[in-house]
Amino acid sequence: MATITAFAGKTDPADVTADDLSQVAEYITREYSKNPMKSFLTVVFPNSGFTQPAFDKQPEKRVAYASKVLLSWLDNIETTQERCVVFNIPATMRVHRQAVPLIGPEDGFNFYAEGDSGLPISGLALLAIQALPLGSLKCAGRLLVIHAEDPDLTYRFAAQALEANRRYLSLASQADKYEDVKHPRTQIIDRLVRAEEARKDAEISSVTAYHLTNYGTNAAVDIYHLPLQIMRFLSYATDATYRNAWQRIVQRSWEGGRATPESDTFGLPRQRNVLYEDLFALPQEARRFLRTFILRMPRLVKGQGKDDPRATYSLLTETDLVSWPLTALFLKEVMNVDDSRIEAIKAMADHLADYIDEHGDQRLFRTLLYGGNRGQDYQELRTRLIRADYGVAARQGPLFTLDEFVAVFENTDNQYTWMLARDLLLIRIIERLYERGKIAQIHEAVGSPVDAVDIEQE
């Protein structure tokens, strides 16, 4: 319905008229009956009247099919005593996989309620389902459908896709095959950012995307979900307070080393954005996300493409991208860390940065940078912190209190570990030293050891 509403140039489905529905049906009849749209539909409505090769020589059958699935709403004659599974109105017919993606075929009655194959559906719902491809994207050989809890955001997703598809169809009327975009996760975030920029101060809601194919025996769907805390983080990160820091990190995340990606036929990114893609691993991979994108630790993935920018991240050349404000936002919104703990981390890090600056303690700095992740490595880090604290406490007071140390390191859980605490201290220490112009000290500590690289299997 969002697609139909956008097609009618309206924003509220309640304002859609019968004339609007007729215009949608007319457009679908014209475009779905020929390439390139017909080739697109094989992944959505296989074996439907729009895609049947036999109907190429029997156009009257294609017209009859189009009338059945697009115009049944005109009278909505009840042929069953059932209610529509989409709208609470009488159903006009039972439909199967060729009309509604990812449900069973006519002979698959074992997988329907009460052994009665097909879904009862109204003519209005059937028209809306047929319009679905126009409000979605053909992406990596599948259909990419994006839905938000907020109806206004769902509408904007559909309107974006509809505009891109209609523009493409008007320019590619002679093409045999429908082009598609690549990298579904990148496209989801890119479209989300575009939509949110157009609706500032709107309600934040979770988003779910369905990357599906209904083709042959390979019907499948991958579901990508962005929960509320990730959406809230994205909303704030792209707002004025954090936008500059966020955008610079985004620009360094496009494959091929491009600050701005190339645009494809639809005006969408042609390259993958690794930061956008890694958002879908949050909050489970929070520490890795921070180390990679905020702390700029290079990351090697098995089978990694040569254009993956994460392999070239470096504190030596990208110290200016380290941002404590963005990190604090991440901790609060994504990891639900309370403000008092965030302040304790910052206070301890500031004192340690001042100590490293004044005393040149490169051993402590490098222990923070390149210490291991075993229990004995935590003991070594704790020992160095205690020595540093003991060395200056008599002259200028302690570097940190017991309460601060416990708040930063000891109250851990599955997500917040002592290793994450170490990285958080390091982020603020590096930012503070950089703000003071102590670039040489940072470079001396960083060097380029093998231990600086995160290696993972994918």
Percent of the chain with pLDDT over 90: 71
Expressed in percent and rounded to 5, the helix, strand and coil fractions of the chain are 55, 10, 35
Query: What pLDDT score does 397 carry?
Result: 86
Report how far residue 70's alpha carbon sits from residue 443's, in angstroms, rounded to the nearest whole number: 66
Residues 374 and 394 in one domain: yes
Residue 131 lies in a domain: yes
The sign of the CA dihedral 26, 32, 33, 34 is positive
Residues 143 and 275 in one domain: yes
**Predicted confidence (pLDDT) per residue in 342-392, tens digit:** 999 999 999 999 999 999 899 999 999 998 999 999 999 999 999 999 989
Query: What pLDDT score does 438 carry?
Result: 87
Mean pLDDT of 289-316: 89
Report how far residue 209's alpha carbon sits from residue 138's, in angstroms, rounded to the nearest whole number: 13
Residue 316 lies in a domain: no
Mean pLDDT of 327-336: 97
Structurally, how many domains does the chain consist of? 3
pLDDT at residue 109 above 70? no
DSSP state of 17: -
**Predicted confidence (pLDDT) per residue in 15-45, tens digit:** 999 999 999 999 999 999 999 999 999 999 9
Instruction: Kindly indicate the confidence band of residue 77, based on its pLDDT and cuts at 50, 70 and 90.
Output: low
The sign of the CA dihedral 145, 147, 153, 155 is positive
Pairing of strands 454-456, 299-301: parallel
Query: What are the residues whose beta carbons fall under 8 Å from the beta carbon of 381, sequence distance 6 or more?
Result: 367, 368, 371, 418, 422
One-letter amino acid of 126: L
The domain in which residue 109 lies consists of 1-135
Q: Please choose, from the candidates 429, 417, 405, the residue with its C-alpha nearest in 3D space to the C-alpha of residue 295.
A: 429
Name which residue leads in pLDDT, 307 or 189.
189
Residues 275 and 371 in one domain: no
The sign of the CA dihedral 402, 405, 407, 412 is negative
Residues 99 and 57 in one domain: yes
Name which residue leads in pLDDT, 352 or 114.
352
One-letter amino acid of 361: D
Query: What pLDDT score does 158 carry?
Result: 96
Mean pLDDT of 407-435: 92
- How high does pLDDT run on average in the chain? 90
pTM over 0.95: no
Query: What are the residues whose beta carbons fall under 8 Å from the beta carbon of 394, sequence distance 6 or more?
Result: none
Q: Are 69 and 125 in contact (CB under 8 A)?
A: no
Report how far residue 141's alpha carbon sits from residue 291's, in angstroms, rounded to the nearest whole number: 33
